[in-house]
């Protein structure tokens, strides 16, 4: 339940509170909540819906005085939510919060999954966009982008095949995409995938990739979007076969830079502005909107599944 406007505004300005907008995260993961420093554990409460989150941020914007250290984060986050132009309160949505290096899945506006992620570094940023899931690719090969060819060659290209001057890394435990790649509609080579370096998820600062989003719980997200048990996902992965599976229900995807957002417990966290997008005078970067693809018939999905996997578009 959203607290009354007056009590929430007062607690916000006084710094006390169950939903703290005054707390800043020094890293992108595991910030210490105020409640964790109190003797008694916080009382459980129902998860915030996306409508709740927006309402809390609207209250914060009205309550915070000009010049408050968190006002810009609140205003910019609300602006980016508006600019996304998606109905996040219905259907299935994957939200990548670039600033938090986290990925969340929502069913009708209610969070059902959350995972740590690795996102683009400041020099190779993950772009803001809205799009849709196309397929989940099991045991994907990695078609090395031209921009990384020199780096792979300098490292010796061990474990890579070279076809027509292009390096391809076969599926397997050393593959940079990990066990799974979630494709996105018309995304210019940006997609969600696993990794062969899971230790990166334990780092506080996870803005490390060349633009794609590495998802720690990629198997759970795949099971959710394909409506299948995780055990079935594991069985398909164990086969070693590269295969694409289309979700039967539409899943919209938003990649957004939200510098203030609730954590797993529902407490709002101010995340570091690693891309400098909240700095005064910085021109705001808009969203690239991908149009909804035409729905596929069952016959079309079956025919697509029989086709060999196409190459990934390079970054």
Active site residues: 193, 212
Angle at which helix 218-226 crosses helix 230-238, to 10 degrees, equals: 110
Question: How would DSSP label each residue in 151-180?
Answer: HHHHTT-TT-EEETTEEEEPSSTT-TTTTE
Start-to-end C-alpha separation, the chain: 43
DSSP code at position 184:
E
**How far does CA 75 lie from the centroid of its chain?**
21
Backbone angles phi, psi at 302, to 5 degrees: -65, -40
The answer to whether the beta carbons of residues 31 and 267 sit under 8 Å apart is no
The answer to whether the beta carbons of residues 160 and 144 sit under 8 Å apart is yes
- Encoded tokens for 32: 């210490």
The answer to whether the beta carbons of residues 298 and 50 sit under 8 Å apart is no
The answer to whether the beta carbons of residues 90 and 107 sit under 8 Å apart is no
Beta bridge partners of 181: 137, 193
Residue 103 CB neighbour total at 10 angstroms: 26
Radius of gyration of the chain (CA): 21
């Amino acid at each position: 339940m959203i607290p009354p406007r007056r009590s929430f505004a007062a607690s916000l300005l006084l710094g006390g509170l169950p939903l703290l907008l005054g707390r800043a995260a020094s890293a992108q993961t595991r910030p210490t909540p105020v409640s964790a420093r109190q003797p008694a554990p916080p009382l459980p409460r129902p998860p915030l819906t996306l409508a709740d989150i927006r309402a809390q941020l609207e209250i914060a914007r009205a309550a915070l005085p000009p010049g408050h250290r968190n006002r810009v984060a609140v205003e910019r986050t609300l602006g980016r939510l508006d600019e996304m132009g998606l109905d996040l309160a219905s259907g299935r949505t994957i939200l990548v919060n670039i600033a938090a290096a986290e990925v969340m899945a929502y069913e009708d506006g209610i969070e059902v999954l959350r995972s740590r992620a690795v996102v683009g570094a400041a020099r190779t940023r993950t772009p803001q966009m809205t799009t849709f899931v196309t397929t989940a690719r099991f045991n994907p090969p990695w078609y090395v982008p031209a921009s990384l060819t020199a780096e792979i060659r300098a490292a010796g290209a061990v474990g890579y095949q070279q076809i027509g001057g292009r390096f391809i890394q076969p599926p397997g435990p050393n593959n940079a995409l990990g066990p799974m790649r979630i494709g996105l509609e018309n995304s210019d080579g940006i997609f969600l995938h696993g990794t062969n370096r899971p230790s990166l998820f334990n780092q506080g600062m996870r803005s490390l990739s060349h633009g794609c989003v590495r998802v720690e719980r990629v198997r759970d997200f795949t099971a959710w979007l394909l409506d299948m048990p995780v055990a079935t996902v594991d069985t398909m992965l164990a086969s070693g076969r590269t295969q694409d599976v289309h979700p039967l229900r539409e899943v919209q995807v938003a990649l957004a830079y939200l510098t203030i957002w609730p954590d797993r417990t529902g407490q709002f966290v101010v995340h570091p502005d690693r891309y400098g997008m909240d700095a005064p005078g910085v021109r705001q970067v808009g969203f690239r909107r991908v149009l909804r693809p035409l729905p596929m018939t069952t016959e079309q999905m079956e025919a697509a599944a029989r086709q060999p996997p196409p190459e990934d578009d390079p970054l």
